[in-house]
Amino acid sequence: MNIKPNNLRKHVLDMVYQKQSGHIGGSFSIAEVIAYLYSNYDLLSGGRDKLILSKGHAVPILYAALYEMGILESLQNFRDVDSPLQGHPDKHRLAHMHATTGALGQGLSIAIGHALAFKMKDKNDKVFCILGDGEMQEGQVWEAFMLSPKYKLDNLICIIDYNKAQNDGFVSEILDMGNLRCKIESFGWDVLEIDGHDTEQIKGAFESLQSKGKPICVILNTIKGKGVSFMENPSWHAKAPSTEEYEAAIKELNIESDS
């Protein structure tokens, strides 16, 4: 199946607009990589490849992918009380979520556990973990970066959504990221850095994953709110669109609204 990123963005818009709650910016910035992962890896069978969304507030983009694949029949119950489609992934309510996340900074540690379990069982499946650059202010993230090489977890792929923006503004104004690639390499990781909105670069990067004995980090240079020009700003981290903004966004995505 070949999932189209803008279809995912459209579903995210629908969910957040209808409920006037949710996170558009950080969902849009990972639309291309989510489309690729769900199109090319078995993330639906419980015992196969796993995807840990550490930046759990971006979960609308996962629901959008499951909807595109026909796994979810409706997105109308997004963020409803007792709904399986909560504002952060909840694996107890929705089996296709591989971890319950939302407390930022914990996802990579969870992913290490899954990757280590796969190693102990001699399984060749992969564990993907998507981090937001804002949550890298958490010390636990760097402890996880330090631990992973010790166990030679070459089945662990950390994906950093390097959109350089968070709820409080631009990451560069709050956290000195410096040369992010060099920092992570210094912990013993193999690191790739690509344009996170270029589908060919994403395809090439993931097809070339050949690291032996080292965990792998793919840094996606992205834009928060990518896909809708007026949403490419930190202010759209957790903002719900008005009717006029929703209609303008749908028009930019060039996808017919069915709302």
- The length of the chain is 259
**Average confidence (pLDDT) over 118-139:** 94
pLDDT class for 256, splitting at 50, 70, 90?
A: low
pLDDT at residue number 170 = 78
> Is residue 42 scored above 60 in pLDDT?
yes
Q: Is the dihedral of CA 67, 43, 89, 102 positive or negative?
A: negative
**Average confidence (pLDDT) over 235-254:** 96
**DSSP one-letter string for the chain:** ----HHHHHHHHHHHHHHHT-S--HHHHTTHHHHHHHHHHS--SSTTS-EEEESSGGGTHHHHHHHHHTTS-S--TTTT-TT-SS-SS--TTT-TT-SS---STT-HHHHHHHHHHHHHHTT----EEEEEESGGGGSHHHHHHHHHGGGGT-TTEEEEEEE--EETTEEHHHHS---SHHHHHHTTT-EEEEEETT-HHHHHHHHHT---SSS-EEEEEE--TTTTSGGG-SGGGSSPPP-HHHHHHHHHHHT-----
pLDDT at residue number 255 = 73
**Average confidence (pLDDT) over 37-53:** 92
pLDDT at residue number 173 = 56
> Is residue 40 scored above 90 in pLDDT?
yes
CATH topology of domain 5-253: Rossmann fold (3.40.50)
By percentage, how much of the chain surpasses pLDDT 90? 88
pLDDT at residue number 6 = 97
Least confident of 17-21, 155-159, 178-182, 200-204: 178-182
CA pair distance 245, 17, nearest whole angstrom: 9
CA pair distance 115, 128, nearest whole angstrom: 9
Number of other CB atoms surrounding residue 174 within 10 Å: 13
Domain ranges of the chain: 5-253
> Is residue 178 scored above 80 in pLDDT?
no
**Average confidence (pLDDT) over 150-155:** 96
The per-residue pLDDT of the chain, averaged, comes to: 93
Query: Is residue 191 within 8 Å of 131, Cβ to Cβ?
Result: no
Provide the whole-model pTM: 0.95
pLDDT class for 1, splitting at 50, 70, 90?
A: confident
Which residues pair with residue 54 across a beta bridge?
none
> Is residue 214 scored above 50 in pLDDT?
yes
